[in-house]
Amino acid sequence: MALSTLDGISGRWGINDTGMATGFSTNADCYQRAVRWNLGDDSILDLGTLAIPSTMVAGNESYGYHGINNSNTVVGHSEIPNDAGDYIFLHGFIYHEANGMRDLGTLSTDAYYLGWYSIAYDITEAIVVVGLAYSDVGFYRPFIWNEQDGMSALPVDSVRASGEWYATVINESGMIGGHVIDGAVYYPYY
């Protein structure tokens, strides 16, 4: 069955056991937005975008990956502008209807650049999220996030410490998988 779109192309990436799927769809303004589909009635929900808290100016685009749990909580990334309005960054988000879209932050403390960058890829039933974030040491590192502790960097292999580390999947036992890009080569890890 083909799924509905907001007003253009779309792609589905994740599906849960309750008949909900997540991915992206292009809206009438040609912006890519994170969406959640109800496969039972083919309805589509635009999850919105993040806004900078100080000005409430929102980004235009967001994106959903395969991260959706059976509570219909979705993770992905959204554009978010800085206070000056001269840079747009991507921050990982968590979305649930009760709380809306929330910023997961990054691993960097750089305030002007809002910590630069993060993407949330997957989520467990216990609301544990994994992804990739820019760190204060200038590298992309895998992260784990939960409500109690927030975002923490995962350890990396020192042999490939200068590579870009992605945490892209997590199972209910807490095993995390992903890949590291070292030079032009991708290496899987867990």
What single-letter DSSP state applies at residue 139? S
The whole-number average pLDDT for the span 70-85 is 90
CB 106 within 8 A of CB 91: yes
The whole-number average pLDDT for the span 22-43 is 94
Q: Looking at residue 108, what is its pLDDT?
A: 85
The whole-number average pLDDT for the span 91-109 is 93
Q: Is residue 83 part of a domain?
A: yes
Q: Which domain holds residue 86?
A: 10-189
CB 119 within 8 A of CB 164: no
Q: Which has more pLDDT, 13 or 26?
A: 26
The whole-number average pLDDT for the span 170-185 is 94
Q: What is the mean pLDDT of the chain?
A: 91
Q: In this structure, what is the dihedral angle of CA atoms 176, 179, 180, 186, given to the nearest 10 degrees?
A: 160
Q: Is residue 131 part of a domain?
A: yes
pLDDT in tens, 54-69: 888 899 999 998 999 9
pLDDT in tens, 115-143: 678 999 999 999 999 999 988 777 889 99
Domain count, the chain: 1
Q: Is residue 48 part of a domain?
A: yes
Q: Is residue 185 part of a domain?
A: yes
Q: Looking at residue 47, what is its pLDDT?
A: 97
Taking alpha carbons only, the member of 68, 62, 27 closest to residue 47 is 62
pLDDT at 112 over 60: no
Q: Is residue 55 part of a domain?
A: yes
Q: Is residue 1 part of a domain?
A: no
Q: Is residue 166 part of a domain?
A: yes
Q: Looking at residue 114, what is its pLDDT?
A: 57
Q: Is residue 167 part of a domain?
A: yes
